[in-house]
Chains A and B, each alone.
Chain A
Amino acid sequence: MSLKRYTISVDGTIPVPALLYDDEVLLISQEGVGIYDGPQKAPNHQSGIVHATTHRLFYIDNAHSFSRSFWLDLAHVGRTEYYAGLFTSSAKITLYLNDPPPRPSTSIVAERADSSFDTPAKSSQVDFWECEVCSNRNPIGLTSSAALVCALCGVPRASMKAPITIPSRQNAAGSYSLSKSLPSSSVNLAKLHLSSSPSPSPPVPEVPAPPATGEIACIACTFLNSPLLQECEICGTPLPRKPSLAPPARLPAKSAPASRSATPAPDSDDDDDDNPDKRMMRLSFRKGGDKAFYSVLRRALLGRAWESKAVAAAVEAPSSSSSSSSRPLGRSGINGILRSVETTAATAQSNMEDALADLEALMVKWKDMVKLAQDLNERLTAASTPAPGISLVPGAPLGGATTLATPAVEPEEATFIRSSLAQLGLQMANAPVTQDMVRDERKWFEELAKELAGVLEGSGAKGGEGMMRKRGIVALDEVWGGWNRARGVALIPPATFLQVLPHLPSFTLPPIRMRTFAASGLSVLHTPPYGSATFASRLVSILTLVGPRTTVEVAQEEDLPIGLTEEMVHEVEMAGEICRDDGGSGVSIFSSPGAPWAASEGGEVRWWVNIFRGYVWDGQK
């Protein structure tokens, strides 16, 4: 499937650096990697080393490095996906491949089982072009920059001559006629193949009719190729077509084993299935290293080193390119300079893309802000009577707020609000009241009091309980903190807070007032049941009904904090409504009369109704 179609076999016994093009750089290697061909595991490629270069991805199999290794051109990779792995599932990198590539013309036939095809011959199959100036024979890399500029003198390849073909092909071309000698012996294929390919045999006049099997003899090497092939499996020479034959399917030229010619029927390789889902490969990282590899791979893909970049520009101004970028090994002269220019350009592009991504996010929000401001502007224009500041009260629904609005709004105020809104660029429905929204000091305090009332009592329609809903009495510091927390911005200083409090009762139902305890100076906000007179009468009636009570008992009865109860009871005591009995001394006197400290031992204070009030002497006259 995709593995076959996109990858090219390579002799894994050769060290990877030797396999690289001149302008190719090995970036990272990772061992313990398995390959998935599409969604399934590729059974022959389950353990190997993966090397990522600027141009290609090499897989060198561990067990059968000679026969099962391959490389993949990064140019085919459309996008990648990273999967971090889960439990026993290894981390994976999915490579989605582009449309099926054209058959590589310079395929290296490496998977040959027959050792007669020695490696020098194979490497000599790579095309070269000769520089006009220095006559350096440049290899044709995959990058056109390398293909277009001489590596030695840097002179562009001006006249695009046809590549000088390799000796073996020349050889094959030269001995064209000898392939015709390929006679009837198509049966003894292997033997013939072994004997015929290294040394050409003498020319034989005419090609006989192809054998019944439909195999096509190569005109160069006389190898009997499968009719499905377009080029010779051995030497890559185009095969003579037979019109009667069905158009050959795209078969990978290099991976067909030698025995394939005997059984030429396409073995149900669903090569024609162009389902994009299947056009993918996975690298499964069984031994980790996935993250580092993925980032390097992405960088390599982004770098697109196989594309020619700015060749002409670099040639025109070679001196301008700085030598800042480290020059890879084996590069020199203008070629290296060009390379550094390319790297700089790539870096600049990636930086620019990052910056633009941020800008895009900002633009999305900016649109919202503008929309809000416009909305508010329209409302200001539409509202003839209500004061614009009113509608900004948090928590208050718009309808309810307008009832409190002042009848007339000076246009200049409206303009001011509008302009300040425009300056700010944002305005939310529950924004806290700030001083510049309101006309004068008194109004400002009233708005604040209204806002505070919302915080204390909960804003009716919205639900949610205010700070006072359940308690009826709250310490001032807590209210202040809670209010400012609710506001979030434009916090209210304590002085302003205290000035707001006198306005509070008119905005709350029941009225919430402040009282300060004389003894400690503690200030609280309270609902009417906790006013001093109300509380005193309630306390007295409790004491009258159930007898003396301690502070703790009173606190339990009133459901208040003990400290707060103490303050309130003290206040009542100071009003003379109750009196105290600090107790304690009696018991210890009788239990241990000798203990002098017993008299000073204090018990818990119990509160009595003021029995001294209105007492008439009834003792001895």
Chain B
Amino acid sequence: MALTTHTTPSGFVLPSIHAAKPFFTQQPNPATQKTVTENWTRLILSYARHKKLFNLRVEDATDDKSEWDEVLRNPRIQRRLRPSHLAAILSSMVAANQAMYEPPNQTSSVLLFWRSPEEWAQVLYDWANSTGHLNTIMTFYEIVEPPVPSPLEGLPLPILRKAIAVLTKSARAQIIAVADGEGVRFLPGVPGR
């Protein structure tokens, strides 16, 4: 059976394996399941990047109205990812630091790291540098909801904190308590980094 890629109406190219029925089944063989999980992780992250999605909940697997619907379900082969399978995938993603549970202490909802915190940190620093915010104190709110569009727009605060934490370690940012919450001051660190 020849499997082909499929382009969704939103322009996302689904891999050919998405058209294979076993892809939607949790495989008992651990080796096989590892491949399945890897492919699912890649698919989820690439789709999240494509659609700029950060949140993925287990319930999305059963929700036809979800923005994840065209990935978690394949009506052409009448298969959909089962919630238990999705939960297993999410758990493995969290373990691989490709996602984090948000809110913490539960396992049904994650924030996806379609960019790793280090990548986000770099993006954040570049953005601050390019917009001339170095050495100024900015609130988180100003970062994630800038007046002009930016790659950081809509970034969930937990990810932002992780990114800032990464910058703090390399002495390129500093967390400062401000009146209405938290603020950050970007420091001109090692150039060219």
Residues in A lying within 8 Å of B, measured CB to CB = 547-548, 573-574, 576, 579-583, 585-587, 589-590, 593, 596, 599-600, 606, 608, 610-613, 615, 617-621
Contact = CB atoms under 8 A, between A and B. Distances in A.
B80 A585 contact: yes
B32 A619 contact: no
B77 A580 contact: no
A610 B23 CA distance: 10
22 contacts: A573-B27, A573-B28, A574-B29, A576-B32, A579-B22, A579-B25, A580-B25, A581-B22, A585-B24, A585-B82, A589-B64, A599-B82, A599-B83, A606-B21, A611-B22, A612-B17, A617-B15, A618-B16, A618-B17, A619-B5, A620-B15, A621-B46
Contacts of A615: 17, 35, 39
A580 B79 CA distance: 13
B78 interface: yes
Residue from A610, A613, A615 having most chain B Cβ neighbours under 10 A: A615
B87 interface: no
In this complex, which of A596, A600, A618 has the most chain B Cβ atoms within 10 angstroms of its Cβ?
Answer: A618
B22 A608 contact: yes
Contacts of A596: 62
A460 B28 CA distance: 45
B27 A580 contact: yes
A581 B42 CA distance: 21
B115 to A, nearest CB: 14
A611 B20 contact: yes
Contacts of B82: 585, 599-600
Given A585-B79, A585-B82, A620 B1 contact: no
Contact of A580 (B12, B17, B28): B28
A610 B34 CA distance: 13
B14 interface: yes
Nearest to A570: B28
B131 to A, nearest CB: 28
B162 to A, nearest CB: 25
Chain B, interface size category, equals: 35 or more
Q: Which of B15, B64, B83 has the most CB of A within 10 A?
A: B15
Contact of A582 (B25, B36, B47, B62): B25
The 10 closest A-B CB pairs, nearest first, are A586-B78, A619-B15, A612-B35, A581-B21, A620-B13, A579-B22, A581-B22, A620-B46, A608-B22, A586-B79
B173 to A, nearest CB: 31
Contacts of B14: 619-620
B49 to A, nearest CB: 8
Given A599-B80, A608-B22, A619-B5, A593 B64 contact: yes
B149 interface: no
B172 interface: no
B25 A620 contact: no
A243 B14 CA distance: 143
Contact of B47 (A590, A606, A608, A620): A620
B62 A599 contact: yes
A528 B50 CA distance: 53
A589 B78 contact: yes
B185 interface: no
B155 interface: no
B20 A586 contact: no
A583 B79 contact: yes
Contacts of B77: 586
Given A581-B22, A581-B25, A612 B16 contact: no
A582 B78 CA distance: 12
B29 A590 contact: no
Nearest to A547: B1
Contacts of B80: 585-586, 589, 599
B43 interface: yes
A606 to B, nearest CB: 7
A606 B82 CA distance: 17
B2 to A, nearest CB: 11
A596 to B, nearest CB: 8
A547 B20 CA distance: 12
Interface in B79-105: 79-80, 82-83
Contacts of B64: 589, 593
A621 B29 CA distance: 28
Given A589-B80, A599-B83, A612 B36 contact: yes
B79 A619 contact: no
B179 interface: no
Contacts of A618: 5, 15-17
Interface string B39-81: 1001100110010000000000010100000000101011110
Given A611-B20, A612-B32, A619 B43 contact: yes
B29 A579 contact: yes
Contacts of A610: 32
A608 B1 CA distance: 10
A590 B28 contact: no
B3 interface: yes
B40 to A, nearest CB: 11
B184 to A, nearest CB: 32
Contacts of A579: 22, 25, 27, 29, 32
B13 A619 contact: yes
A165 B80 CA distance: 127
A576 B29 contact: yes
A610 B20 CA distance: 11
A582 B24 CA distance: 9
Contacts of B39: 612, 615, 617
B153 to A, nearest CB: 21
B190 interface: no
Contacts of A590: 75, 78
Contacts of B31: 576
Contacts of B1: 547
Contacts of B20: 608, 611
Contacts of B23: 611-612
A228 B17 CA distance: 127
A610 B17 CA distance: 11
A585 B23 CA distance: 13
Contacts of B42: 617, 619
Contacts of A585: 24, 78-80, 82
Chain B CB within 10 Å — which of A582, A600, A613 has the most? A582
Given A580-B28, A585-B78, A593-B64, 14 more contacts: A573-B32, A580-B22, A581-B25, A583-B25, A585-B24, A589-B73, A599-B82, A600-B82, A608-B22, A611-B22, A612-B35, A618-B17, A619-B13, A619-B18
Contacts of B36: 612
Contacts of B75: 586, 590
Nearest to B47: A620
A459 to B, nearest CB: 43
A456 B29 CA distance: 35
A386 to B, nearest CB: 54
A611 B27 CA distance: 12
Nearest to A589: B80
A118 to B, nearest CB: 115
